[in-house]
Amino acid sequence: MKSLHAQNKPLAEPAEQLAILAGAPFLEGQLPTFQNQLQSIGQWPLTPKKLEIFQVNLGYMCNQVCQHCHVDAGPDRKEIMTRQTMQACLEAMARSGAHTLDLTGGAPEMNPDFRWFVEEAAKIGVNDFIVRCNLTIVVANKKYNDLPQFFARHQVHVVSSLPYYEVQRTDRQRGEGVFHKSIEALRMLNAEGYGMPGSPLKLDLVYNPSGAFLPNNQQGLEADFKAALFRDYGIHFHQLFAITNMPISRYLEYLLASDNYEDYMDTLVRAFNPAAVENVMCRNTVSVGWDGRIFDCDFNQMLQLPCSTKAKHVEQLSPEDWNNRSIVVASHCYGCTAGSGSSCQGTLTNA
Amino acid sequence: MENSYYNPKDLKKFAEIGEWDKALADKFFAWYGDVFADGALTAREKSLIALAVAHTVQCPYCIDAYASDCLQKGVSNEGMMEAIHVAAAIRGGSSLVHGVQMMNKVNKLSM
Domain ranges of chain A: 10-337
pLDDT at residue B1 in the model: 53
pLDDT at residue B105 in the model: 94
Integer Cα distance of B15 and A93 in angstroms:
50
pLDDT at residue B3 in the model: 79
Integer Cα distance of A3 and A175 in angstroms:
13
Task: Split chain A (351 residues) into runs of 10 and give each run's mean pLDDT.
Answer: 95 97 92 97 96 97 96 97 97 92 97 96 89 97 98 97 92 94 98 98 96 92 96 98 96 96 95 96 97 98 96 94 95 96 86 52
pLDDT at residue A156 in the model: 96
Integer Cα distance of B41 and B31 in angstroms:
16
B39 is a domain residue: yes
* A304 conformational bin, left if phi > 0, alpha if psi -120 to 50, beta if neither: left
B99 is a domain residue: yes
Q: φ and ψ at A154, to 5 degrees? A: -105, 15
Name the residue facing A216 among B12, B72, B76 (closest C-beta): B72
pLDDT tens digit string along B6-26?
998 899 999 999 999 999 999
- Show which residues on chain B lie within 8 Å of chain A, measured between beta carbons: 12, 42-44, 68, 71-74, 76-77
Query: Best mutation site among B38, B45, B61, B71 for testing chain A: the one with the most A CBs within 10 Å?
Result: B71
Closest to A209 (Cα-Cα) out of A152, A157, A254, A149 = A254
Here the ipTM equals 0.78
Q: Tell me chain B's radius of gyration from C-alpha atoms.
A: 19
Q: For residue A191, give the amino acid letter.
A: A
Instruction: Output the CATH code of domain A10-337.
Output: 3.20.20
Name the residue facing B72 among A166, A213, A266 (closest C-beta): A213
B2 is a domain residue: no
Using the beta-carbon criterion (under 8 Å), do A215 and B68 form an inter-chain contact? no
What chain B residue is nearest to A219 in terms of C-alpha separation? B73
Name the residue facing B12 among A166, A221, A266 (closest C-beta): A266
CA atoms within 13 A of residue A146's CA, in its CB half-sphere? 5
What chain B residue is nearest to A262 in terms of C-alpha separation? B9
Q: How far is B49 from chain A (nearest CA, A)?
A: 18
What chain B residue is nearest to A339 in terms of C-alpha separation? B72
Name the residue facing A224 among B43, B74, B77 (closest C-beta): B74
Range of the domain at B44: 19-109
CA atoms within 13 A of residue A164's CA, in its CB half-sphere? 21
Q: How far is A214 from chain B (nearest CA, A)?
A: 6
Integer Cα distance of A324 and A332 in angstroms:
23
B42 is a domain residue: yes
pLDDT at residue A345 in the model: 84
Integer Cα distance of A343 and A319 in angstroms:
22
Integer Cα distance of A160 and A235 in angstroms:
13
B1 is a domain residue: no
